Chains A and B, each alone.
Chain A
Amino acid sequence: MPTVLIVDDDDNQRLLYREELTMEGYDIIEASNGPDAIDLVAAQGVDCVVLDIAMPGMDGVEVMHRLHDHDRTLPIVLHSAYPVYKDDYMTWTADAYVVKSSDLSELKTRVARAIEAPGAAPPTP
């Protein structure tokens, strides 16, 4: 079972994503901040990271770059309430950029795709 790392500072949102993604059949691990997320990835194999951007301390974009410094092929789905980062060149290297919503179907689709074809170019929006 693929392992998905959920990184988000909001406890309730982590719980929500854990519930939903578990129903998709993934093993879930969680981190509530950037440094913890980096440690977890270094410690064990992770097949996909669902990464919140707006976090206190290290934000999601920086976490992504650090993770990619170690492993270019690691699939990362950026997950944010802000739509504006979509056009930020710093986020191009993400596999997907999903805007947070009550409807999680897009998140699930993107995670599935990212796992199937790791390192593939992000689909054009």
Chain B
Amino acid sequence: MEPDGTTPVEVNIVSGEMHQQSGFCERALVALPVRLILLDADLRIVLANPAYCVPRGVTREDVEGRHIDELFPASLLDGAGLRDALRATIQSGESVQWSGYRYRTDDHDERTINVCLSRFFDDGDRPLLLLTLEDVTERHRQLYERSLLQQIAQAMLGMLQLPRLLHAILTGMTAGGAVGLGFNRAFLMLLGDDDILRTEMAVGPSDPGEALQIWSEVSGNHTSIDDFLADYDALGATGESRFLTRCGELEIPLGEPDMLPGSVLFDGRTAHVIEADKDPRVPEFFSTCLEATEFIVAPLIVKDRRIGIAYADNFISRHPISESDKQLFTSLANHAALAIDRAAVFEEAQTRAQELEEAYRQLEAAQEQTLRAESLATIGEMTAIVAHEIRNPLSTIGGFANLMLRQADDRLKVQRNARIIFDEVMRLEAIVNGLLTFTRPGQPRFRWCRPQDLLSETLEMIENKLDVGDVEIEMTCPEQLPQIFVDIGQVRQVLDNLCRNALDAMAGNGRLTIEGSPGDGGRVVISVSDTGAGISPEDLERIFDTFFTTKETGLGLGLALSQKIAQDHGAELNVESEEGVGTKFSLIFPTDYDELLSRGIVEVRRTPTSPDGE
């Protein structure tokens, strides 16, 4: 062996060309970071480079001549099929390349390798196998860990509800089988507004038996983190165990900056405790409660906000916590902190939304109450007026009946009295009928309808039913008016009332105009105008009052009722008048869906939003 550990390559093994460059080749063999082995047809080692020999503490001589079975682990030769590949290549000369192949060494260490295999012949024409093995375990593990972290972070991403999120985080920390970080036990503490850390959730079996039971149950059915998370109870997060009970009881005020677990929130770094009872940072109650000798604690911090801490240990398996374990755990904790913070914000947003909904509901209820009170007040007013209106005829009827008793012998007077009683009763009946029109026998039936159609019908009604005399009738309405949402029967009633009033005002001479026109904000205006006597300013003030009438035979209910109908449609009924010139009544209907909605004329989901919907 040369001083630098090389072995002169023997001339009779390599080809002629290589012989010429033997110095270079030697150096190449030494420098090669991959293990290089030459095998003969019987799978015996002919040559092994330093990359193979040195880590094993053997020399070339130790391995030359030995059969591959003596040196390579069964998991590589048989499990991975290397032996078959070697034999096949020796036969066929076909080169083989494997990348990312996993096998287990005799020390139960999992390694990942890239394998290259090719055949060549020595100058004796004997077949030789050139085998290179590159150990990529480290690189693969890093890739794997990054991907794992990404998967766990991804799983946490969509979770806005705290319990499920905490469960996901703990699953990420404890799941084994290449799904999670594989710690035995873990728990999360969150920092309250009172600066006290409280355990929110914990995962962990109390003893190896329980652990084994849980894992064997679980690992069979779950191969990805999503599988785990779908099975909320899989890790016993909601089950009973001494560990869960113990750490569930933990309540730690954030006091001294030097004492775990709170200290990690002061220095912002993960703490790795190797011997808990000897570590000055560990308070006695903490190590007594958890019983683990080795554990790690990571802070959960978002910007400057302290969210809480995460704890993990390998209490059951006693597996030491490596540096890469610690780094992975810290990364996971950082993701977890962000996710928890986000979930907290979401929860607050939800609470706020619920509060608003509640406030809105109360507002609606209050509004309903106000409306009801108003309508009751109106009913009260109405009742007073009605009572008065009824009392007059009643007292007349009673008075004459009474008189009749004393005038019984005077036939003429009896007849006259009876007649008066009859007339007053008729008057009462008319009042009662008029009142009944205020009550709707059925629900109003609102429908979208074209103003043009409504006005044409009104024109027909006037010509057919009303006594027009010499009054000129005019109807105008543009084609483009938007449709209005109305109970057609009720609107006809209003128009009937307005037209009759107009005709009465004109006493057989003049012009009656019914007109449709556009108003502000998409509204539709339907008006009835006459060229009659007009209404005095004093009367104008009272014209919509119930029982107000300037006519001798009027009841005074028509306009009051018309106004009520207008209100029920979310519409306005206005009047303009000049004495000696004429009067114009205008019905103004809204057509904007939102306005109709806010006035309660339409209900969401029950009404088409436009005339064309249904």
Is A12 an interface residue when CB atoms closer than 8 A count as contact? yes
Binds A, one of B371-379, B396-404, B451-459: B396-404
Q: Report the interface size class on chain A.
A: 10 to 19
* Contact of A101 with B395 in the complex, beta carbons under 8 Å: yes
Is B242 an interface residue when CB atoms closer than 8 A count as contact? no
- B378-402 CB mask vs A (1 if < 8 Å, else 0) is 0000000000100110111111111
Is B445 an interface residue when CB atoms closer than 8 A count as contact? no
- B251-277 CB mask vs A (1 if < 8 Å, else 0) is 000000000000000000000000000
* Contact of B399 with A20 in the complex, beta carbons under 8 Å: yes
* Contact of A54 with B388 in the complex, beta carbons under 8 Å: yes
* Contact of A81 with B406 in the complex, beta carbons under 8 Å: no
Is A36 an interface residue when CB atoms closer than 8 A count as contact? no
Q: Which residues of B contact A42 (CB under 8 A)?
A: none
Give B505-530 interface residues, CB cut-off 8 Å to A. none
Instruction: Report the nearest B residue to A10, measured CB to CB.
Output: B392
Complex Cα distance, B394 from A87, in Å, reads 24
Is A120 an interface residue when CB atoms closer than 8 A count as contact? no
Q: Count the B residues whose beta carbon is within 8 Å of the partner chain — how many? A: 19
* Contact of A82 with B399 in the complex, beta carbons under 8 Å: no
Most buried by A among B397, B400, B406: B400
Instruction: Report the nearest A residue to B389, measured CB to CB.
Output: A81
* Contact of A20 with B403 in the complex, beta carbons under 8 Å: yes
Q: Which residues of A contact B413 (CB under 8 A)?
A: 19
Q: Beyond A12-B423, A54-B388, is A101–B398 a contact (Cβ under 8 Å)?
A: yes
Complex Cα distance, B424 from A101, in Å, reads 14
* Contact of B392 with A100 in the complex, beta carbons under 8 Å: yes
Give B106-150 interface residues, CB cut-off 8 Å to A. none
Tell me the B residues contacting A by CB distance below 8 Å.
388, 391-392, 394-403, 406-407, 413, 420, 423-424
Q: Which residues of B contact A104 (CB under 8 A)?
A: 399, 402
Is A43 an interface residue when CB atoms closer than 8 A count as contact? no
* Contact of B396 with A12 in the complex, beta carbons under 8 Å: yes
Tell me the A residues contacting B by CB distance below 8 Å.
10, 12-13, 15-16, 19-20, 23, 54, 81-82, 100-104
Q: Beyond A15-B420, A23-B406, A81-B391, is A10–B399 a contact (Cβ under 8 Å)?
A: no
Query: Could you list 18 further interchain pairs (A-B, Cβ under 8 angstroms) beyond the known A19-B413, A102-B397?
Result: A12-B396, A12-B424, A13-B399, A15-B420, A16-B396, A16-B399, A16-B400, A16-B403, A16-B420, A19-B403, A23-B406, A81-B388, A81-B391, A102-B398, A102-B399, A102-B401, A103-B398, A104-B399
Complex Cα distance, B401 from A122, in Å, reads 30
**Chain A nearest CB, measured from B96 CB (Å):** 114
* Contact of A13 with B403 in the complex, beta carbons under 8 Å: no
Partner of B396, one of A13, A23, A54, A103: A13
Q: Which residues of B contact A13 (CB under 8 A)?
A: 392, 395-396, 399
**Chain B nearest CB, measured from A9 CB (Å):** 10
